[in-house]
Amino acid sequence: MKVFVIGIAGGVGRRLAKALIAQGHQANGPVRRPEQIAALARNGVPSFQGDFLAMSTEEIAQAMSGSDAIVFTAGAGGKGGMAATTAIDGAGPGKLARAAGQAGIKRFVLVSVFPEAWRERHINENFEHYMAQKKRAEIDLVNSDLDWVILRPSALTNEPGTGLVDLGLAQIHNEIARDDVAATIVELLETPKIGRIILEVTGGGTAIGVAVDALARSAAKA
């Protein structure tokens, strides 16, 4: 499978690309800084210089052409203020979904966020804005005719993956290793029965393959 990864140099993105390649798939995607191309290449991951904000929808469609699936795991990461969050986290997935439509690619995985993340804490207005933009992106994808999966991970860590998650329609917000988010996305991509569904994932107690198989069985029943 050829997967076009938006955010391929990011924490989840580079782990995902590495995991895909390790499983015999292909990955590629745009990076904003040239040094990121060399860093990814050292791990056997191809990429090219590109900023999806600067690229037209047609240019993105051309760049992703021939891919079997798109994964959007980019984010402003709190840099560039609210305007960057609006453009990247909010408007980005919709733009990529339109490009996927033009390129004839149906499968689209969006990495989103738990809506109630940190609701028990004091949340500043930048974080509220981020949450609202992530929701806007989910709505754009849900309203598309793509074969989408929205995956909401809990708070991300750089701890080594455990291979164990809790995955389903609703989970308690906790923490999950970026490695485990990447591994969950690979399993979801390899399980085409699972589509047009919003899933929450957090570090947990079920092997990722078993958790995805269980979902595929319940999708088959629906």
Ligand X SMILES: NC(=O)c1ccc[n+]([C@@H]2O[C@H](COP(=O)([O-])OP(=O)(O)OC[C@H]3O[C@@H](n4cnc5c(N)ncnc54)[C@H](OP(=O)(O)O)[C@@H]3O)[C@@H](O)[C@H]2O)c1
Task: Report d(CA 154, CA 157) in Å as an integer.
Answer: 9
86 Cβ contact list (under 8 Å, min separation 6): 129, 133
Candidates 3, 9, 19, 99: give the one binding ligand X (CB under 6 A).
9
Token reading at 99: 């490009």
Q: Does 203 bind ligand X (CB under 6 A)?
A: no
Catalytic residue chosen out of the listed positions 15, 130, 177, 184: 130
Exposure string (b/e) for 100-131, b if CB count within 10 Å is 16 or more? Answer: bbebebbbbbbbbbbeebeeeeeeeeeeebbb
Task: Report d(CA 155, CA 178) in Å as an integer.
Answer: 9
Q: Does 63 bind ligand X (CB under 6 A)?
A: no
Q: Which residue has the tokens 């408007």?
A: 91
Q: Does 77 bind ligand X (CB under 6 A)?
A: yes
Going by DSSP bridges, is the β-strand pair 147-153/30-31 parallel, antiparallel, or unpaired? Answer: unpaired
Q: Does 169 bind ligand X (CB under 6 A)?
A: no
Candidates 3, 5, 10, 64: give the one binding ligand X (CB under 6 A).
10
Residues in 28-47 at the binding interface with ligand X, rule: CB under 6 A: 30, 32-33
The piece of 67-75, 94-102, 121-129, 191-199 that touches ligand X (CB under 6 A) is 67-75
Q: Does 155 bind ligand X (CB under 6 A)?
A: yes
The piece of 51-59, 139-147, 192-200, 202-210 that touches ligand X (CB under 6 A) is 51-59
H or E stretch covering 128: helix 125-142
Minimum distance of ligand X from residue 89's CB (angstroms): 6
* Catalytic site includes residue 130: yes
Instruction: Name the residue nearer to ligand X (CB basis): 111 or 212.
Output: 111
Q: Does 170 bind ligand X (CB under 6 A)?
A: no
Q: Does 101 bind ligand X (CB under 6 A)?
A: no
Q: Name the residue with the smallest CB distance to ligand X.
A: 10
What is the size of the binding site for ligand X (CB under 6 A)?
Answer: 24
Task: Report d(CA 156, CA 177) in Å as an integer.
Answer: 6
> Other C-beta atoms within 10 Å of 139: how many?
11
CA 149 to centroid of chain Cα atoms: 9
Q: Does 173 bind ligand X (CB under 6 A)?
A: no
Q: Which amino acid, 207?
A: A
| Sites of contact with ligand X (CB under 6 A) | 7, 9-13, 30, 32-33, 51-53, 73-75, 77, 88-89, 111, 113, 153, 155-156, 178
Catalytic residues: 130
